[in-house]
Amino acid sequence: MMSIWEVLDRAETGQYMDERDFDLKIVAKRCKELVKEHDIKFNPSEIITTDDSMADDVFEAGMKLALDTGIYCISTKRIIKFNEEEIKEGMETAPREVIVGEGRDARVLYARGIEDARRPIICGGQAGATIPEEWYVPMAMSYMKEPLIDMINHGGIAIVEGRKVRTHSPLEIQATRRELSMLREAAARSGRPGIGLIAGESSVSALGDLAIASERYMRTCDSHLVALLNELKTDYDRLSKAVNFTEYGAYNVTLVDPIIGGYAGGPEGVAICFIASFLLGRLLYKSEYHICHPIHFRYVSTSAVECMWNLNIVGQAMARNAKFIIMGDVWTSAGAGSEMIFYEIAANTITNVVTGTHPLGVSATNGKYPHASGLETKFMAEIAIASTKLNRRNANEIVVNLAKKYKDRMSNPDIGKPFPELYDVRKVVPKSEWMELYRRMKEEIGEIIGLW
């Protein structure tokens, strides 16, 4: 596979283009054309489809989009293009499994298939959120103490030692190092020192990321996210992160989060954009694995019906044609401490597991408030493990019914309660009220889905 050096060369020598032209005349135009050409249709009553030919069509269209667009580098205003041979080489060399974490906490993260009966890897934490420094360790421990949770992707910190962290300021370095120190402390205190981390969330620019490439903070068995910017774009901050970790030896993970309603269009265009992003992200960032995170333009949440359809079709398209390791995000509108969050978690998680991705979450309130804890992520793990018994047809029926329970409340969700109101922070155990709600909802949803 081509080197990162070649990628950087192309960022400097590729075709010059105005960014707006790339957005509208290339990405938007081609997505629209390809949806029509391949007759791809979103059907809200088939959130999980059994139509294999549509999955293959989405993949084929995504491959065409990848070849036509390439990746736009905002820093140089040039397009980094890849040819078919290079993309196919990226597919062939993509790892089918990687080992995350170390020692007895190490896990094999693998490329899932459709209706895969193997136990999925559970990645827990309130990814994407800003967590107060004073609760960070106990909150991270609340996930690590759950034995069903295999690896961690928790939020970042935006205030360090009472000082607000501003993007590109030196405090970004301290915040990111503090985040890693606290994660490692939480892991040790939870008796899981080797648990695999996806971290460095406090590093918005490349600054913090560069500062944690050391065994003291981020080990080579850990991972960081390198986002593709919306849509099919990158910049020197993202490329710096990829270069740094490629040389350091830890895992690069492409975060792909196209917006439904954005430049790629509706759910159908976004599905195609996802495939192109995964194929190109593999070459651009040398990614070992990938995150699938559709964003709803209004609700954000991956539990929105359109987003779950995307997780489904993209997961299946990749599982049938490219066999990448993919984690599917579980981002809910509701917060921990609410009833609503359980329905969202169940629907989103079943969709992911049955259609070829490992669940990553729960990012409650879409990461807006620190209203999250390990307990609802334990529920996500239980649902995920139970979902391995489902086929797509049964899963669809369940997911459509679960979505009816919350979809009309997404614009005004119950945001629940902050972590210290849900857990005894000193003992890091759920408070009785939260535990009772979890038990009740587990039983109620268990009856609806018939999984335990």
Partner 1 sequence: MSESIFNELAQCVIDGNEEKARIIAKRIIEMGLDPLKAINDGLMKGMRQVGEDFSNLKIYLPEVMMAAEAMKAALSILEPKILEKKIMEERRKVVIGTVQGDIHDIGKNIVALLLKANGFEVYDLGRDVPIDEFIKRAEEVKADIIAASTLLSTSMPYMEDLIKMLEERGLRDKYIVMVGGGPVTREWAKSIGADGYGEDGDEAVRVAKELLKVRGK
- Please report, as ranges, the residues that interact with partner 1 according to CB under 8 A: 23-24, 28-29, 32, 74, 130, 156, 158, 164-168, 172, 175, 202, 204-205, 229-230, 235, 259-266, 269, 297-298, 300, 306, 366-369
Nearest CB to partner 1, comparing residues 297 and 452: 297
* Cα torsion angle, 167, 169, 170, 175, sign: negative
CB of 30 to partner 1, least distance (A): 11
Closest separation between CB of residue 212 and partner 1, Å?
Answer: 16
Nearer to partner 1 (CB atom), residue 176 or residue 349: 176
Decide whether 268 or 376 has the Cβ nearer to partner 1.
268
Q: How far is the CB of 128 from partner 1 (least distance, A)?
A: 9
Say whether 75 sits in a helix, a strand or coil. Answer: coil
| Number of Cβ atoms within 10 Å of the Cβ of 5 | 9
Residue 224 vs 358, nearer CB to partner 1: 224
Smallest distance from the beta carbon of 261 to partner 1, in angstroms?
5
Residue placing its CB nearer to partner 1 in the complex, 262 or 294 = 262
- Residue written as tokens 């020692």? 103
Spatial distance between the Cα atoms of 49 and 52, rounded to a whole number of angstroms: 8
CA dist 71 and 81 (Å) reads: 6
314 vs 6: CA distance, rounded Å: 28
- Measure the N-to-C terminal CA separation of the chain; round to a whole number of Å: 45
If the CB atoms of residues 116 and 172 are measured against partner 1, the closer one turns out to be: 172
Tokens of 438: 């979890």
Shortest distance in whole angstroms from residue 423 CB to partner 1? 22
Q: Where are the beta strands (DSSP E) in 207-276?
A: 223-227, 233-234, 251-256, 259-260
Close Cβ partners of 3 (under 8 Å, ≥ 6 residues apart): none
Residue 429's beta-bridge partner residues? 424
Minimal distance, residue 204 CB to partner 1, in Å: 5
